[in-house]
Structure 1
Amino acid sequence: MSGKIFGSVCICCTVIAIVIFLVPATTALVFYHENTNKIEAFLPLETGDTFQFIFTHSIHLTDVVETYEVTDDLEIKQNEIAYEHFGIGMPSNAGEGEKFTYEDGKYRISKLDNIFSSINIRNGKTVSRNRLIWGNEGENLIWFNQYFDPGAWFKVKIKRITLWEYIRGVRIYEGR
């Protein structure tokens, strides 16, 4: 009888280990250290959720706001970009199907349909004022410097992470 109990316990432990290590538990915006599989931080998001990266343009020293959405295919869709000045790295007009407007001192290109499997992003080194905003009406904001060193760069993706990755990782907005 004890052999059957031991076997049952082993099977249960194996199933629990598989669930913890292999079965995806939640969808998240994941920040990978440079070009590795090492998760630096993650933000739980669901398909359809939106988020924004805000960075300060290194020449104009004004904010550039990029708005993204999590697609059903767990990719990143860029919906809009807003900025105050034309210049290096800033588009001067909208492409086909996009909308270009100027209001409240900002240029906006909306109706974008740019799909990314990942985005490489750097926390500013000289001008380190990058932010991440998410939630209803952008109610949540963190400064990259709360989580990342100035000058650090990351590959950002949408991924279904396992319970183990969730437990081990640094969840953005845990009062850091």
Structure 2
Amino acid sequence: MKKRISIVLISIILVISLIHIPFSKSLVFYQGQTKKLIAYLPLQQDDTFQIVFTHSIHLSDVIEKYRVTTEDDIQQFEIVYEAYGIGMPSNAEGEEEFVYEDGKYHIKNMKRVFPSIHIRNGKTVSKHRLIWGENKERQVFFNDYFSPGEYLTLQIKNLSLWERLKGVKISD
């Protein structure tokens, strides 16, 4: 009888432990600057994703391209936009390249690394999109997961099964 109880207790402790072990690398969306997980997108090291938003003044798309680093940071490697003006860079810095291709301005070879990104879902012009996939074929609108005007913190994190259950998996 004692052996059976011990096996059951050990099994329960093992299951609880396994539920809390981080195993799934993801782009995590937290509410504001809290650690309240709202949604997540499973990604791996060197995977890329894009955040596209409509500039509230120019009303044209701005594409920010990011990569997951080996240190689980977020590296911005390119930005693409159609119009100069308020809030848009006018030139490249350091080793970056500023080019004009296909009617759009590109700043390439960016190596800007962030432990997290703070972003507000558009309120006035709410067309923020998240794009990912091998050929950038997957896309969702932020409004499908977040409220217009909502403040978010994005971070790369290894999630446990328990944490994954607390958030919504982003899928196309």
Is the structural similarity TM-score above 0.5?
Answer: yes
Consecutive aligned runs of 4 or more in structure 1 exceeding 6 Å deviation:
none
What is aligned with 2:103?
105
The number of residue pairs the alignment matches comes to 172
Q: State the SS of the aligned residue for 1:24.
A: coil
What does residue range 1-176 of structure 1 map to in structure 2 within 5 Å?
2-21=1-20, 23-173=21-171
Q: Which amino acid aligns with 1:97?
A: E
Deviation at 1:103, TM superposition (A): 1.2
Q: Distance in 1 between matches of 2:52 and 2:135?
A: 15
Q: State the SS of the aligned residue for 2:168.
A: coil
**Alpha-carbon contact 2:38-2:166 (below 8 Å) kept:** no
Q: Distance in 1 between matches of 2:31 and 2:130?
A: 17
Gaps of 5+ in 1: none
Residue by residue over 1:94-139, the C-alpha shift from the partner in whole angstroms, topping out at 9 and shown as x without a partner, is 0110011001110000000000000001110010000000001101
Deviation at 1:168, TM superposition (A): 2.9
TM-score normalized by structure 1? 0.96
Q: State the SS of the aligned residue for 1:31.
A: strand
Deviation at 1:24, TM superposition (A): 0.7
Q: State the SS of the aligned residue for 1:32.
A: strand
Q: Distance in 2 between matches of 1:167 and 1:114?
A: 32
Deviation at 1:169, TM superposition (A): 1.7
The root-mean-square deviation of aligned C-alpha atoms, in Å, is 0.8
Q: Which amino acid aligns with 2:26?
A: A
Gaps of 5+ in 2: none
After alignment, is 160-169 or 53-62 more displaced? 160-169
Deviation at 1:12, TM superposition (A): 1.2
Q: Distance in 2 between matches of 1:74 and 1:165?
A: 17
Q: State the SS of the aligned residue for 2:15.
A: helix
Q: Distance in 2 between matches of 1:107 and 1:37?
A: 36
Deviation at 1:5, TM superposition (A): 0.9
Q: Distance in 2 between matches of 1:91 and 1:46?
A: 29
TM-score normalized by structure 2? 0.98
